[in-house]
Amino acid sequence: MRKYLKKYLPDHEAIHGNRWLRPFRNSLLHPRLWHLNRHSAAGAVAAGLFCGLIPGPLQMLGAAVCALVFRVNLPLALLVTLYTNPFTIVPLYLLAYQIGRIATGDSAGFVEPPAFTMTQFVEWTQAMQTWMIGVGKPLGIGLVLLAATLAVTGYFLTKAAWRFWLIRAWRRRQAR
């Protein structure tokens, strides 16, 4: 498993030689950020899954910061954030909204956004702001809960998969 992942992840020297990353050389070249074992992989998966639900283009930045703080595999954390893409982001956010509604005890159903009318743009803008405030609390709480659930699940599944792979490799070696 490690050999397979190492084929696709950048190596230590590639980061060291990159002129754009020179100012961050001291923090980015920490050995634990590039070492791949079951602990760093599980932590990287958890960081990537958690940060994958950050809105906008800040997902990889969040995963990089988490990898630096928790000293887990940086490239794997960045790679895992890609589970959110244009096809998956809407269902994930709808799921997060539903989780947030349950967590906050909001029994009202989903309220549709106000229809856009160019002739009443100011009124539409005010109605849209009111709608966004109403949706914001359940969505925000739901995103944090969903991200935490995905991170914890990903952490333990990665540890379990790595352990399963090791036991299988030991048994194969023993059989030979």
> Where do the domains of the chain lie?
2-175
Characterise 117 by phi-psi region: left (phi > 0), alpha (psi -120 to 50), beta (else): beta
pLDDT at position 117 is 76
The arithmetic mean of pLDDT across residues 31-49, rounded, is 89
Mean pLDDT of 159-165: 93
Is residue 12 very low, low, confident or very high in pLDDT (cuts 50, 70, 90)? low
The tokens for 171 are 């048994």
- Which pLDDT band, with edges at 50, 70 and 90, does 132 fall under? confident
Q: What mean pLDDT is predicted for residues 7-16?
A: 66
Q: What is the mean pLDDT of residues 6-11?
A: 65
Write down the pTM of the prediction: 0.78
Q: Is 105 exposed, middle or buried (0-12, 13-18, 19+ CB in 10 A)?
A: exposed
Q: Which residue has the tokens 């005890």?
A: 105
Distance CA 132, CA 107 (A): 17
What is the pLDDT, as a whole number, of residue 3?
67
Percent of the chain whose pLDDT exceeds 90: 44
Query: According to the model, what pLDDT value does residue 104 have?
Result: 87
What would the DSSP string read from start to end of 15-64? HHH-GGGGGGHHHHT-GGGT--SHHHHHHHHHHHHHHTTSSGGGHHHHHH
Query: Each residue of 77-121: pLDDT tens digit?
Result: 999 999 998 899 889 988 998 999 899 887 776 777 778 777 888
pLDDT-derived band at 5, boundaries 50, 70, 90 = low
